[in-house]
Structure 1
Amino acid sequence: MGVVFGDIGTSPLYALRDTFAGHHPLPLDRLHIYGIVSLMFWSMMLIVTLKYVTVIMRADNKGSGGSLALLALINQHTTGRRWGKGIILLGVLATALFYSDSMLTPAVSIMSAVEGISVYNPSLHGLVVPIVVALVITLFATKSQTRGTRLSWASRWAGPFMLLYFATISLLGLRSIAADPQVIRALSPQWALAMFMADPWHGFIAMGTAVLAVTGAEALYADMGQFGRSPIRVSWLVFVLPALVLNYLGQAGLLLRDPQAIHSPFFLLAPQGFEWPLLVIATTAAVIAAKAVISGAFLVTQQAIQLGFIPRMTIRHTSTSLGQIYIPAINWALMIAVILLVLVFERSRNLTAAYGIAVTGAMLIDNILLAVVLFKLWRWKPVFALPLLGLFFAIDATYLGANLAKIPDGGWVPLLMGMAIFTLLTTWSRGRALMRQNMAEGALPLEVFTRSAHTSAARVPGTAVFMASAAAGVPSALLHNIKHNKVLHERVVVLTVQISDVPTVEPAERAQVKDFGQGFYRLILRFGFMEETDVPAALCGISVCGEPFDMMRTSFFLSRQTLIPADVPGMALWREMLFAWMLRNAADAMGFFRLPTNRVVELGSQLKI
């Protein structure tokens, strides 16, 4: 409840309101009110229930979900295909849009909730922005933010509180429905069709705001690795969906009785004496939703780092439980972005104009990835796959088209942020590939090196582990060590860490060793993209390189590359400069691989790309 459904659960704060009072307002009559509620209900049924809960959640990568997990799953079956790179770029674009959504969601949710102050006391309107900024700073800076991402805090209080929130909005909706039971008729799809037939243009434009009712649907899939498929399905169908439907129906009934309530139909559902308790409940739920999105950003960042789309960052594992991580760089970057959005847009109504393009864009990309899964992985027959995909593409493409009309009103913001993040991700991935290619071209085969090296240098006691990014050739640190120091340890291990396209790797598949004799070994350690790359712990768990590893007698040698301009650059000059900046600011390998600080030696080299 606290992690998965915080985003979509707080949509009633603003979704129906901004459909009728946003930048493209609709007439407040029965046809349009019933039509929009019908559109929201069937969007939740088709997009959330059918697409995500029923179909896409079956496409798990050993239990994990999300665009990157799905991309990794597809990549296992499309390597070498001419359209494989296009699929990878789409997956990266979906990730970039997710980051854009991660900036907008806290701003929209918290501001929509705090604006209840001005609903109940208009004279306090000037305090909304300062209170929102204070809540955002508290959310990102509080010590609880650094104690883990998901399971611990959610199980203690976020989940139970969200149950209280959903129960509250359900009862408020029922109370309003009791005053006008006929409003239940709005669930019929005929009202949505009637609205489009009577007013096609305004109906189409309204879809750009009505989609706010399903923002957060992708979280169901992304969080599957944390909670499992069945708990998410049961929670959605038994608790969340009924609560949302009842509240939207209640708001619709209120608007029919009192059109003046359009400036905040959610908060005006509260009976006399319950206004301020509802404000506290809604604001707390919005903060929980924001925290859940931040936690999701941590998780996606970890996946992206492991898959090679983001530079190494400092990741604090705050618990032995899976998913308990904190990434300071992402936390502070999101905080600054959210505060800037609040200060620039000032009102949630202005923010919702920017909210939707990132969500619908990511949903449309999920359809393309799902098409690959249906045809290439599951081998569905076209007679079954094409109608389903056609339905999903028609819905998401229409929603995206409607949201494009909001570009002048603020929709350019998520597009700009998404393209900037997409550029960073692709630049890092391309730069790393060029680095590997350059290093591989001049690499000396380890077999040749070992035949001559053991007789040309003095051997000293202990173990030397030379970290190598490539699984072939001699790492530059080893070449520099023997060139300048003229010594070799009794046991020399060339170690490569590989991140697999699966969340976790079985212990039996963790290590692969090749013995070259004379105390030389090539060791490959495999980790899943959801696992902590703790190299010392992995080494202590294997005994395939002779005697067991003793960290007090083991030295780790790292290579540090400095980029210099190439005669024929592999990327545009501005992208090379961007990649060099990202490389300089990446977290050091010592911390990323959990190497003991007093057992590490770094040797530098220059590299052209």
Structure 2
Amino acid sequence: MGSTKHKVPFGVFGIVLAIGVVFGDIGTSPLYVMKAIIGALPQSDMARPDYILGAVSCVFWTLTIQTTLKYVVITLRADNKGEGGILSLYALIRKKHRWAYVIAAVGAATLLADGVITPAITVMTAMEGLNTLVPSIPVIPISIAIIIGIFLVQPLGTSSLGRFYGTIMLVWFITLGVLGLNQFVHDFSVLKAINPYYAIHFLIEAPHTMIILGAVFLCTTGAEALYSDLGHTGLKNIRVSWTFVKSMLILNYLGQAAWIIDNPSLINVGVNPFFAMMPSWFNFAGVILATLAAIIASQALISGSYTIISEAISLNLWPNVKIKYPTRIKGQMFIPSVNWFLMISCIIIVLTFQSSTNLEAAYGLSITLSMLMTTILLFLYMEKMGIPRWGRIGLTIFFTIIEVSFFLANMQKFAHGGFASILIAGVIFFMMYSWYNGRRIKSHYTAYDTVDDAYIDKINRVSEDTEIAKTATNLVFITRANKTYSLENKITYSLFSKQPKRADTYWFINIKRTDSPYDFEYSVKTLLPKKIFRINILVGFKVGVHTDQFVHLITNELERRGVVDLSSRYPSMKGMRGDFKFVVVDRIFRNVDLNIKQRIILACYNLVKKLSTSDTQMYDIDPSFAMVETVPLVSMKSGSHDLRKLIDISESEKDAE
């Protein structure tokens, strides 16, 4: 069977979908960027024309260089068959640079941490704007209620949400442009901010430059999520819609700058230029629209988080948690465990920080790390694509200087709340690192048996031994052995040693996840006609692993072709369908000598596995069909040469007593 793809079409629908799903985060940045910038300036300098023009110039060139050039023009080219995000980028280069999993894990963890803060800061900022009009509105409870609502609608899928979100965001961006244009239509001198001279002069002359640079960075925090959402909406749709989105954002920032320069007496730490420049008759409608846009802004990070976890599973960086696909459109998915984790974390963030001003101090630090990791991986990708050395080195140095500057600026926030996102990112990275290396340790101690004629004959003799109680008509083992005539000795142990398993038909299933999103292929090798079969399945990371469904699909096809008889062999059930039993063999820590580091990693791996998923969940097997067995990580047969050493140690301990 070949791969299946469900593409988001390029056109009006795709563009509106991109506007609704991809640009929510970056599209709501005008709500808090200028407010954060003037709040970082001394009271006497908050409305200085040259400073305000310089600040807007910084915003303009950050959007142009960081968002447009790095992400929209360059990075979106690095797609894995239509899928984007830092892990897709790693998947493209990991065969040559496997060590880069650490870089990819740091980038993915920091982006997921950013996904916790984005819904909180956008929703709270909008609610505070509404609170200025209706002071009696309780900001915190309503913010939490809205956040809960955002995550409760996620099972509908981004296609259904995108139609609704896209329409609202289209209105939102048009409103941004109109509000901004209305402020400087009578004096276009503010357009001077497009000249990079004003940005350079501002960064040299303005006090608290590093703090201000951290505030400027907030305008581009959605760029990494934009890349992660590539598979949800498509390359062309993102690029075309970004032209419109960026134009509206720039108009609004210029409008806010014009309003600040024209109203110096109204500027103070608590004022938000975005809401202040609205005409009085539009205040209430504008705040409501901002609230809706803030709700939608969360979608870019949430949908991007689903993509990250899906890709992390295929790269062995995350446990195989349950994934749902609400629509048949390419890239659209829903991961319940991620959804509820983000929701609970957002609520905790809101209750902890209490205001958007406090959250501004925490926002942006983790995402700078994610951008830096993307730059490193992008360098390796350009090397793979044969980009001349001078070109890839030049681009890497250029973006690294910019991002390191933003990182150092955002480090000023660490003690004021930035530690929260770093802490969340640290926990996620710890889980990824433990899972990846725990799997490697287990793989290192995996021994294999050759499935030769003697091995097959032994299975056949067990199958015909009526003194052994029958386990099932069809017995299915899950194997990770890639070679057709090879099985892990843990399966041998389960078949013959722990408790001999008699069945009429034996199936050995190997499922391998590919870096391509929508692959689904299988091959069947008959080891003993009508009785013993090996099935190899290749499945894309967006298809998911559904073992029992795959097995029933394939075995039914084999029965139609006359390769196997699936009917029950029990005399009392003649003519009925035979039963299936899936055996999952897990290895536990026994009979193996590990160093301290390996013991810690393996313990953490087991903890992550226990907290996140079970073996049957990992393979998506109906628990009523499953049999989970445990065997030692290394069997006593493999470790018998250490028996004399073990006795000697025991004797010496006895003498010491």
Counterparts of 1:196 and 1:172, CA distance in 2: 27
Counterparts of 2:30 and 2:489, CA distance in 1: 57
**Partner secondary structure for residue 545 of structure 2:** coil
Which residue in 2 is equivalent to 1:277? 285
Counterparts of 2:52 and 2:548, CA distance in 1: 62
Structure 2 residue 429 is matched with structure 1 residue 444: no
Bigger mean CA deviation after superposition, 283-292 or 547-556: 547-556
Structure 2 residue 366 is matched with structure 1 residue 358: yes
Counterparts of 2:277 and 2:42, CA distance in 1: 24
Q: Deviations over 1:421-455 (max 9, x none)?
A: 111110111111112222x23x3222352243323
Aligned in 2, Cα 1:307/1:563: closer, same or farther, shift over 3 Å?
same
Aligned in 2, Cα 1:458/1:321: closer, same or farther, shift over 3 Å?
farther
Q: Note the C-alpha offset of 1:118.
A: 3.3
Bigger mean CA deviation after superposition, 510-519 or 189-198: 510-519
Which residue in 1 is equivalent to 2:108? 95
Which residue in 1 is equivalent to 2:538? 526
Which residue in 2 is equivalent to 1:308? 316
Q: Note the C-alpha offset of 1:562.
A: 3.9
Bigger mean CA deviation after superposition, 525-534 or 248-257: 525-534
Counterparts of 1:446 and 1:336, CA distance in 2: 49
Counterparts of 1:605 and 1:322, CA distance in 2: 40
**Partner secondary structure for residue 504 of structure 1:** coil
| 8 A Cα contact 2:80 2:88, kept in partner | yes
Structure 2 residue 377 is matched with structure 1 residue 372: no
Q: Note the C-alpha offset of 1:317.
A: 3.1
**Partner secondary structure for residue 481 of structure 2:** coil
Q: Deviations over 1:208-255 (max 9, x none)?
A: 110101110112211112222111000001x20011001100110111
Larger radius of gyration: 2
Q: Note the C-alpha offset of 1:37.
A: 0.4
Counterparts of 1:209 and 1:311, CA distance in 2: 36
**Partner secondary structure for residue 139 of structure 1:** helix
**Partner secondary structure for residue 584 of structure 2:** strand
Counterparts of 2:420 and 2:462, CA distance in 1: 61
Counterparts of 2:316 and 2:54, CA distance in 1: 46
**Partner secondary structure for residue 194 of structure 1:** helix
Q: Give the alignment partner of residue 508 of structure 2, picking from 479, 489, 494.
A: 494
- Identity rate of aligned residues, in percent? 29
Which residue in 2 is equivalent to 1:398? 405
| 8 A Cα contact 2:314 2:515, kept in partner | no
Counterparts of 1:324 and 1:53, CA distance in 2: 21
Which residue in 2 is equivalent to 1:81? none
**Partner secondary structure for residue 94 of structure 2:** helix
Bigger mean CA deviation after superposition, 564-573 or 189-198: 564-573
User: TM-score by structure 1 length?
Assistant: 0.90
Counterparts of 1:504 and 1:327, CA distance in 2: 17
Which residue in 1 is equivalent to 2:563? 547
**Partner secondary structure for residue 337 of structure 1:** helix
Q: Note the C-alpha offset of 1:592.
A: 4.1
| 8 A Cα contact 1:101 1:358, kept in partner | yes
Q: Give the alignment partner of residue 597 of structure 2, picking from 560, 565, 571.
A: 571
Counterparts of 1:232 and 1:603, CA distance in 2: 48
Q: Note the C-alpha offset of 1:537.
A: 4.2
Q: Note the C-alpha offset of 1:556.
A: 2.0
Q: Give the alignment partner of residue 21 of structure 1, picking from 30, 39, 46.
A: 39
Which residue in 2 is equivalent to 1:3? 21
| 8 A Cα contact 2:326 2:333, kept in partner | yes
Counterparts of 2:261 and 2:565, CA distance in 1: 74
Aligned in 2, Cα 1:606/1:24: closer, same or farther, shift over 3 Å?
farther
- The 5-angstrom pairing of residues 161-180 of structure 1 reads 161-180=168-187
Which residue in 2 is equivalent to 1:516? 527
Q: Deviations over 1:453-490 (max 9, x none)?
A: 32344277843221123334246356424446544434
| 8 A Cα contact 1:96 1:418, kept in partner | yes
User: TM-score by structure 2 length?
Assistant: 0.84
Letter matched to residue 400 of structure 1: F
Counterparts of 2:197 and 2:108, CA distance in 1: 36
| 8 A Cα contact 1:560 1:602, kept in partner | yes
Letter matched to residue 249 of structure 1: L
Q: Note the C-alpha offset of 1:13.
A: 0.4
Aligned in 2, Cα 1:229/1:24: closer, same or farther, shift over 3 Å?
farther
Counterparts of 1:383 and 1:575, CA distance in 2: 40
Provide the aligned C-alpha RMSD in A.
2.6
Aligned in 2, Cα 1:171/1:555: closer, same or farther, shift over 3 Å?
same
Counterparts of 1:467 and 1:319, CA distance in 2: 29
Counterparts of 2:32 and 2:509, CA distance in 1: 53
Q: Note the C-alpha offset of 1:572.
A: 5.3
Counterparts of 1:565 and 1:451, CA distance in 2: 30
Q: Give the alignment partner of residue 227 of structure 2, picking from 221, 229, 242.
A: 221
Which residue in 1 is equivalent to 2:160? 152
Q: Note the C-alpha offset of 1:569.
A: 4.2
Q: Note the C-alpha offset of 1:576.
A: 3.6
| 8 A Cα contact 2:231 2:330, kept in partner | no
Q: Note the C-alpha offset of 1:272.
A: 1.3
Counterparts of 1:58 and 1:396, CA distance in 2: 20
Which residue in 1 is equivalent to 2:62? 43
Structure 2 residue 498 is matched with structure 1 residue 480: no
Letter matched to residue 3 of structure 1: V
| 8 A Cα contact 1:23 1:353, kept in partner | no
Q: Note the C-alpha offset of 1:197.
A: 3.4
| 8 A Cα contact 2:508 2:535, kept in partner | yes
Aligned in 2, Cα 1:575/1:399: closer, same or farther, shift over 3 Å?
same
Q: Deviations over 1:532-582 (max 9, x none)?
A: 222344442575797268695343222244445954346355444332222
Counterparts of 2:612 and 2:419, CA distance in 1: 29
Counterparts of 2:371 and 2:591, CA distance in 1: 40
| 8 A Cα contact 2:545 2:620, kept in partner | yes
Which residue in 1 is equivalent to 2:139? 128
Counterparts of 1:106 and 1:415, CA distance in 2: 17
Aligned in 2, Cα 1:390/1:328: closer, same or farther, shift over 3 Å?
same
Counterparts of 1:437 and 1:407, CA distance in 2: 39
Q: Note the C-alpha offset of 1:167.
A: 0.9
Counterparts of 2:212 and 2:57, CA distance in 1: 12
Structure 2 residue 599 is matched with structure 1 residue 599: no
Counterparts of 1:343 and 1:60, CA distance in 2: 38
**Partner secondary structure for residue 316 of structure 1:** coil
Q: Note the C-alpha offset of 1:504.
A: 2.5
Bigger mean CA deviation after superposition, 54-63 or 314-323: 314-323
Gaps of 5+ in 1: 79-83
**Partner secondary structure for residue 487 of structure 2:** coil
Aligned in 2, Cα 1:291/1:56: closer, same or farther, shift over 3 Å?
closer
Letter matched to residue 245 of structure 1: I
Which residue in 1 is equivalent to 2:123? 110
Letter matched to residue 94 of structure 2: N
Gaps of 5+ in 2: 1-18, 568-576, 636-657
Counterparts of 1:418 and 1:538, CA distance in 2: 35
Letter matched to residue 499 of structure 1: R
Structure 2 residue 279 is matched with structure 1 residue 265: no
| 8 A Cα contact 2:474 2:503, kept in partner | yes
Letter matched to residue 146 of structure 2: L
Q: Deviations over 1:270-302 (max 9, x none)?
A: 111211111111111111111332222222212
| 8 A Cα contact 2:321 2:612, kept in partner | yes
Counterparts of 2:513 and 2:596, CA distance in 1: 25
Which residue in 1 is equivalent to 2:351? 343
| 8 A Cα contact 2:159 2:327, kept in partner | no
**Partner secondary structure for residue 63 of structure 1:** coil
Q: Deviations over 1:85-138 (max 9, x none)?
A: 1x11000100100111011101111111111023335x447x212221221223
| 8 A Cα contact 1:23 1:409, kept in partner | no
| 8 A Cα contact 2:438 2:605, kept in partner | yes
Aligned in 2, Cα 1:568/1:388: closer, same or farther, shift over 3 Å?
closer
**Partner secondary structure for residue 171 of structure 2:** helix
Counterparts of 1:549 and 1:15, CA distance in 2: 67
Counterparts of 1:356 and 1:181, CA distance in 2: 32
Q: Note the C-alpha offset of 1:413.
A: 1.7
